[in-house]
Structure 1
Amino acid sequence: MTTEAGLPEVSLRQLEIFAAMMRGATTVEAADRLHISQPAVSAALRQLETQLGLTLFERTGRRLQPTAEAKSLFDEIRPIFGLMQGFSQHARDMKLGMAGRLKVISTPPLGYSVAPVALRRFLDNRPNVSVAFDVRRLEQVREAVQSGQADIGLAIDHDRQDAVNVDVLQRAHMVALVPRESPLAKKPHLTALDLQDEPLVGLELASNLGQLVRKAYEQAGAIYSPRIEVRYCATATALAAQHLGVTVVDPYSATTQVSDALVCKPFLPACEVNAVMYTRRGVPYSGLLHSFMSDLRAAFAESEVLRQSWVIDKGLSAVAGPRPE
């Protein structure tokens, strides 16, 4: 510890031993409290008295009684140990994911469905945690995680990524949303041929999901000709809810609008989509990130989105038969 010229140089360890003696009465008690040897306590106290030029303890029988000077100095250093305890508590909370700030970024499908559920679980019992949450396009989500601007990214993706770690949270399939009063709503599943004569709210072809749906139409021999083309699945579901057309979207976006007006049906040919999380390569996970990832997986396991996806997968399995092992 650096001190001004002429002042005794006292370490925090010496103050810790001094405080332990003030709270106890013998060097043995202080040693037990600090998990060090009794001779180490005695040596530290002698050194401290020498440095200060003061007598801090007087021996009375087998006990050491603090002098008036020791009591006065102890009152001065009490706040230091409060700060040290607060420091240790905060460090432990950070390790356990109970304190700090987490930066989360997501594409709209998960950002408006599962992510809020996970964030509620995550923040409910963590009053000392704050979150920066943003919803962006897929490319921006990847870039934010790669550059360290975000701790974790959530997206619908099916491509292998070299720039970031990718963990699949759930595998699901695109679904069709149709008006509840439509004859299509009575079908157990809907194909691209079923939908080709209906006004379609389609996803822009520059997007991954837009390309996925277009290929499914081509595979079925159906014409993919959207009456309205949009960028996001959330936009497509909102327009479908206003009876502007049927649409094919990811199941996460679908659950935000399924209501008395719309029904959700398995779509064929099956278009598999993966809900994934991105993390930065080569960077250890903080306790805070570990905690959020745990709550995120729990949110997937318990949310309506997952139950809806299970129903859809079950419907596809009934059509296509059991999957090969």
Structure 2
Amino acid sequence: MNPKINAKQLYIFQEVISSGSISKAARRLGLTQPAVSTAIANLESDIGFMLFKRNHYGTEMTIEAKSFSEGAERVLRALSDLGELAENLKNGRVGKLQIGCMPGLSTLAPKIVASFMRSNPDVKLSLQTFPSRKVEEWVAGGHFDLGIVEKPQEKKELEVFPYSFRMICALPPGSPLVDKKEITIEDLEGRPLITLGDAHQSTMRLRSLAYKHNCSLNVVAETQLFPSAMALVNEGVGYALIDPITAMEYGRRNDNTVVLRPFTPQIDFEVAIILPSFHLVSRLCHQFQSALKEELDKMAVSLNR
């Protein structure tokens, strides 16, 4: 496109063609007739050939103008598409997101992601499940736009937005504790326990609580994920502290026989949304973060009642 030609000239030119005359085009555009005539004259000067021939019948398109009009229509359509794209980018409705999620929330994240994509059909998204530390590392390095992880230690490479969920005690079928309204650390002394390994935050807090209350723990099984722990409880292997999100999801299964009870003193399962501190974050990412925060906020209120 000739650098002298601008979109306003093309728009006026197309309006003259559409309306059939300069005077009608001026009225439609809210311009004076001399202003439209000047715009057409300047366009003709810029491209080097005549677009309209004036005769006693009015204004007639030249043969060249017919071909030029087809090109002008393509340019104006492309500019309109570009303007729409810019508006969508500004409002975070288009683009691609790379999201990393810890395994413990891998059943919840797809539902939130799907809801966001239904509201933003032009968004493309990659959702990958990795251990929290790997997600932290990849978010900090800019390989993931956003992460959902167990709450990390303060790191300058990450922006951390934490959430806490009160953990629940999962009782195997036939447990003698089923009539209790809440389960205490003393109730679990000597009973078979399923934990998520010594390094997991829930296990460390449970051990600290047991030490404080002078109780011994009988860990008979370890697993990496809360859903796996829940499945072992369902099979009668033992008791476990479970995050309420897993408990809610597992409770929908037809084969679920696990009994859930509040656990006291309260032990929280802490998760976080993380963003990179030293890499640019798109408007789309911030838009998704807001949607994710809204869902986690509602869930925190509902599950922590």
Sort the TM-score into its range (normalised by shorter chain): 0.7 to 0.9
SS of the residue corresponding to residue 199 of structure 2 reads: coil
TM-score (structure 1 length as normaliser)? 0.79
Q: Is the Cα contact below 8 Å between 1:118 and 1:298 reproduced in 2?
A: no
Q: Is the Cα contact below 8 Å between 2:101 and 2:130 reproduced in 1?
A: yes
Q: Are 1:295 and 2:291 counterparts?
A: yes
- 1:137 is displaced (CA, Å) by 0.9
Q: Are 1:105 and 2:100 counterparts?
A: yes
Q: Is the Cα contact below 8 Å between 1:155 and 1:276 reproduced in 2?
A: yes
- 1:164 is displaced (CA, Å) by 1.0
Per-residue Cα deviation, 1:110-154 (whole angstroms, up to 9, x for no partner): 2222x2221121122333222100111111111121112112111
How has the CA–CA distance of structure 1 residues 165 and 9 changed in structure 2, closer, same or farther, with 3 Å as cutoff?
A: closer
Q: Are 1:310 and 2:304 counterparts?
A: yes
Which residues of structure 1 form unaligned runs of 5+? 2-7, 312-325
- Which position in structure 2 is the counterpart of 1:118? 112
Q: Which amino acid aligns with 1:204?
A: G
How has the CA–CA distance of structure 1 residues 100 and 158 changed in structure 2, closer, same or farther, with 3 Å as cutoff?
A: closer
How has the CA–CA distance of structure 1 residues 262 and 48 changed in structure 2, closer, same or farther, with 3 Å as cutoff?
A: same
Q: Is the Cα contact below 8 Å between 2:159 and 2:277 reproduced in 1?
A: yes
Work out the CA distance in 1 between the residues paired with 2:301 and 2:168: 13
Pick the aligned partner of 1:245 from 230, 238, 242: 238
Q: Is the Cα contact below 8 Å between 1:165 and 1:279 reproduced in 2?
A: yes
Per-residue Cα deviation, 1:247-272 (whole angstroms, up to 9, x for no partner): 11322223232364112222223222
Work out the CA distance in 2 between the residues paired with 1:39 and 1:162: 62
How has the CA–CA distance of structure 1 residues 306 and 233 changed in structure 2, closer, same or farther, with 3 Å as cutoff?
A: farther
Q: Are 1:261 and 2:254 counterparts?
A: no
- 1:31 is displaced (CA, Å) by 9.8
Q: Is the Cα contact below 8 Å between 2:22 and 2:33 reproduced in 1?
A: no
- 1:240 is displaced (CA, Å) by 1.5
- Identical amino acids, percent of aligned pairs: 25
> Within 5 Å, which residues of 2 pair with 1:34-45?
42-45=37-40
Per-residue Cα deviation, 1:167-215 (whole angstroms, up to 9, x for no partner): 13x3222221112431212212112221122111112112333322221
Q: Is the Cα contact below 8 Å between 1:233 and 1:253 reproduced in 2?
A: yes
Q: Are 1:209 and 2:205 counterparts?
A: no
Pick the aligned partner of 2:166 from 160, 169, 173: 173
- Which position in structure 1 is the counterpart of 2:121? 127
- Which position in structure 1 is the counterpart of 2:63? 68
SS of the residue corresponding to residue 249 of structure 2 reads: coil
Which residues of structure 2 form unaligned runs of 5+? none
- 1:246 is displaced (CA, Å) by 0.7
Work out the CA distance in 1 between the residues paired with 2:115 and 2:90: 18
Q: Which amino acid aligns with 1:226?
A: V
